[in-house]
Amino acid sequence: MRLYLLLLFLWSGWALQAQKQDSLAICKLRPDYSWESYAVPELGYDFYTPLNDSLGNAYHGPSFRFSFYQYSYDDESWGPAYLNLYVRLQRLYETEKGISQQFLWGLGAEFSFETGLYRSFFVPYFGADLGNMGRSDLGSSFQFSPVLGLNILHNKRVSWRINSRYTFATGEHNSSLSGWTLGSSIQLNFW
């Protein structure tokens, strides 16, 4: 019985000491959702449907993004908890005949809707990019693309995202070049 009382006394002393240092204990147990990364590649696949194309074809193909700077914060300070600055490249091929090709590049930014991220999944974001797009049969024009997306998996090493964007094209063939894009991509950070 004395042994049990001694063990209970020691355990109580240890518990009180741990309670005094609970902020340290909580920090060790809680994962860190704050990170920054630089120069991160991303590969994806996109489906594009022109708004008003005389041929009525859709396009699909690979996309590549290179994130210059990206951060994710888990504090409640002012501003978005997630930011991504990137350059985007797309090479899309016509679905039906495969004759026409489309190329697009843009510089852009994405922001989260939230001010503090305390999770590494299902992070919604919005943003836009500006650049140039061209099609082999119509030529090229300036483009502006607002985007809505969802980071299904969101951490420093791996991110899997889906997004939808509408591309506004200017110039002579703007109605044939403007349209919806749906895509999915995976970002791998090796450093």
List, for residues 131-148, the tens digit of each pLDDT value.
998 887 777 889 999 999
Q: Residue 2 is part of which domain span?
A: 1-30
- Please give the model's pTM, rounded to 2 decimal places: 0.75
The reply to whether 17 and 78 lie within a common domain is no
The reply to whether 26 and 41 lie within a common domain is no
What percent of the chain is predicted at pLDDT more than 90? 37
pLDDT at position 114? 81
The reply to whether 159 and 137 lie within a common domain is yes
Q: Mean pLDDT: which of 45-54, 82-91, 111-120 is highest?
A: 82-91
Cβ(18)–Cβ(25) under 8 Å? yes
Q: Which of 27-41, 111-125, 130-144 has the lowest mean pLDDT?
A: 27-41
The reply to whether 180 and 148 lie within a common domain is yes
Mean pLDDT of 81-93: 91
Nearest to 149 by CA among 76, 78, 75, 63: 63
The reply to whether 119 and 152 lie within a common domain is yes
Contacts of 94 (CB under 8 A, 6+ apart): 55, 57, 58, 59, 100, 101
CATH code for position 54:
2.40.160.20
Contacts of 36 (CB under 8 A, 6+ apart): 69, 70, 71
The reply to whether 15 and 67 lie within a common domain is no
Contacts of 97 (CB under 8 A, 6+ apart): 57
Cβ(177)–Cβ(138) under 8 Å? yes
pLDDT at position 81? 83
The reply to whether 19 and 54 lie within a common domain is no
Domain count, the chain: 2
pLDDT at position 22? 47
Phi then psi for residue 85, to 5 deg, are -110, 125
The residues with which 71 forms a beta bridge, in sequence order, are 36, 83
The reply to whether 124 and 173 lie within a common domain is yes
